[in-house]
Structure 1
Amino acid sequence: MKLGLENRVRLIRGTIDGLLPSESKFDAASCILVLHFIDGEQEKLKLLKSIKGHLKHGAPFVLVSVYGDRDNAEL
């Protein structure tokens, strides 16, 4: 079944800091396996607040993260 997503969805590659003002409010966002690469809780919080600032009110946000020692092969 063809859903016509190519006319309704746009993938933007890059960082949130690189968004143009005209691309400032989105219907949804995801942050998948990113936070564990960012050092410090304040930097992680800064990223999450930035994402929130670019979402329309009530827009869904999918967050997938891991927790543990990054230097451990088991992670």
Structure 2
Amino acid sequence: MSGINLIMSGINPIMSGINLIMSGINLIMSGINPIMSGVNLIMPGINLIAYVAHPLMRSISRSKGCPSP
């Protein structure tokens, strides 16, 4: 029985450590969620800018005499 008690008393700190790590991961994840939703909002804007800028860049490069990409 004393062996089992030693094992159990060894497991308790490990379990509390795992719980701390898990709560830390949960905090990080809850921090990432708003960032991800912000990125999702920004991405269509970036796509729109790229869509508008691509012909502009081609016309600028043509006017400079560079070969068009």
Q: Which has the higher strand share?
A: 1
Q: Which is greater in Rg?
A: 2
Q: Which has the higher helix share?
A: 2
Would you say same fold, with TM above 0.5? no
Higher relative contact order (CA 8 A, sep 6+): 1
**TM-score with structure 2 length normalisation?**
0.24
**TM-score with structure 1 length normalisation?**
0.22
